[in-house]
A = this chain, B = another copy of it.
Amino acid sequence: MSDKLSRLLRSAPVFREVSDSLLESLTGDATIQTLPKNTVLFRQGEIADFLYFILAGRVVLIGYSDTDEETVVEFFQAGDLFVAPAVILDLPLLMSVKVIDDETRILRVNATRFRELLQTEQTLALAVSRELARHWRMLVRQIKDLKLRNTAQRVASYLLGLVDCDSGSVTLTLPGERRMVAARLGMTPESLSRAFLRLRELGVSGSQSPEVEIADIAALREFCRYDGLI
């Protein structure tokens, strides 16, 4: 395994504390792929033969209804592990996975190999528990958002979740096209547009682009009572 790959893996929370030997055995028969945007990695309902770790770029998890309507469950980026739950349980995927960015680089680990390592490698099992715990909380936040907040509040708190400081001003980049962000937030693109309009008077600017500027983070936090718990 190259030093560069090793460093990349360790920069992600999930692999921060795993042993060298484990990293070695995990990546031993893994392959690295560089994929163009719109590549479909999995389709909802398939059994996952591989576990993926994102080295660079972004992907999106898309859920489908019976009538083939789409929704976005979550975006994932460099440092994230995905489809782990389906691989661990060897069950059909609940979502499709699509590449967002061109030149997205992913590490592809054989599912069976991963399940075997999970049974013998203490540090891997611990790392996976923590990663799943983080993801669990992410989803719980989304559920609370969907049930307890209106469109403008959902947009505001989503934006706040993308920035790392809690006052001042920033320019951030949305993780995908606005229609996908709208789907992630459980609304139509039209509603997202109107929500941004409502947030304009709170200092949120940006239109027709993935760039969004927040003039006063503290004011926006006040608006949606963002405390990291709701």
- List 9 additional contacts besides A44-B229, A66-B227, A146-B147; criterion CB under 8 Å: A66-B225, A85-B136, A89-B134, A119-B122, A119-B126, A132-B136, A139-B140, A139-B143, A146-B146
Let me know if A144 and B71 touch, CB within 8 A: yes
CB-CB nearest in chain B for A186: B147
Q: Is A104 close to B, CB under 8 A?
A: no
Let me know if B94 and A144 touch, CB within 8 A: yes
Give the dominant DSSP class at A's interface. helix
Let me know if B186 and A137 touch, CB within 8 A: no
Count copies of this chain in the complex.
Answer: 2
Interface centre among A92, A135, A139, A146 (most CB of B within 10 A): A139
Let me know if A129 and B118 touch, CB within 8 A: yes
1/0 contact trace for A194-213 toward B, CB 8 Å? 00000000000000000000
Q: Is A91 close to B, CB under 8 A?
A: yes
Determine the chain B residues whose CB is within 8 A of the CB of A84 once the complex forms: 133
Let me know if A92 and B129 touch, CB within 8 A: no
Determine the chain B residues whose CB is within 8 A of the CB of A16 once the complex forms: none
Let me know if A133 and B132 touch, CB within 8 A: yes
Contact size range, A: 35 or more
Q: Is A22 close to B, CB under 8 A?
A: no
Let me know if A73 and B134 touch, CB within 8 A: no
In the A-B complex, the 8 residue pairs with the smallest Cβ-Cβ separation, listed nearest first, are A66-B225, A125-B125, A85-B133, A132-B132, A65-B148, A139-B139, A63-B144, A71-B147
Q: A146-B147, A147-B183 are in contact. Are A140 and B230 (CB under 8 A)?
A: no
Determine the chain B residues whose CB is within 8 A of the CB of A64 once the complex forms: 148, 230
- A140 in complex: contacting residue of B63, B148, B227, CB < 8 Å: B63
